[in-house]
Amino acid sequence: MALDYALEPGLLKEILIDEATLQARIRELGAQLSGDYADSENLLLVAVLKGSVIFLTDLMRQLTVPHAIDFMAVTSYGVHARQSSGTVRIDMDLKQNIEGRSILIVEDIIDSGVTLSYIVKLLSARNPAQIKICALLSKPSRRKVDLHVDYVGFEIPDKFVFGYGLDLDELYRNLPFIGVVDAEKYL
């Protein structure tokens, strides 16, 4: 039975990626990652809170290789709340030692790339065996820094999206689809 989500009227302009499409792509990513990491020991999925938690929990259940998970939280400040500034602050660091481990950073969305390039630089200094990035969504047209993303679920246009982990002022992370905000009514 479909849940009746209580969304503010007019907030959702369109559904960009529906639940079935998301889940099918996550199954594909899971199969690809399971192959690519078949021989790797000590795999650690690093999820960036909070947006990536829904993606993480669905993705890890598609992995057939042993792995641990850990979390970090960062804030990136901007004049406008919907953009990152270039200044990134660590609010919560990893609990686990990553030296010699294979790290897969699991991220909800890459926009300018500033947040992730900062995280990659920070984690690289701790001497992991390898760092790769898996992002559910990417907005290539918005990139400000050169960042190699190893696995991308979907490339999307420059629109502000929410749902499936991504929030609108902390709400609606539970929606099972990726929706586009009606900018005239909300942003």
Annotated active-site positions, please? 111
Out of 29, 47, 51, 116, point to the residue binding Mg ion (CB under 5 A): 51
Nearer to Mg ion, 53 or 60 (CB): 53
Q: CA distances (Å), 187 to each of 13, 44, 82, 104, 183, in order?
A: 12, 36, 9, 32, 5
* Closest approach of Mg ion to the CB of residue 174, in Å: 16
- Is 156 strand, coil or helix? coil
Note whether 113 binds ligand IMP by CB under 6 A: yes
Query: Which one-letter amino acid corresponds to residue 158?
Result: D
Alpha helix ranges (H) inside the chain: 19-36, 53-60, 114-124
Out of 43, 101, 112, 179, point to the residue binding ligand IMP (CB under 6 A): 112
Note whether 76 binds ligand IMP by CB under 6 A: yes
Distance CA 58, CA 20 (A): 13
Residues 90-149 that bind Mg ion (CB under 5 A): 108
Nearer to ligand IMP, 59 or 114 (CB): 114
* Closest approach of ligand IMP to the CB of residue 142, in Å: 7
Out of 59, 110, 131, 149, point to the residue binding ligand IMP (CB under 6 A): 110
Is the CB of residue 106 less than 8 Å from the CB of residue 147?
no
84 interface partner picked from Mg ion, ligand IMP, none, CB below 5 to 8 A per type: ligand IMP
In 18-143, DSSP assigns E strands to 43-49, 68-77, 87-92, 102-110, 130-138
The full length of the chain comes to 187
* Closest approach of ligand IMP to the CB of residue 40, in Å: 25
Instruction: Note the residues at the interface with Mg ion (CB under 5 A).
Output: 51, 108
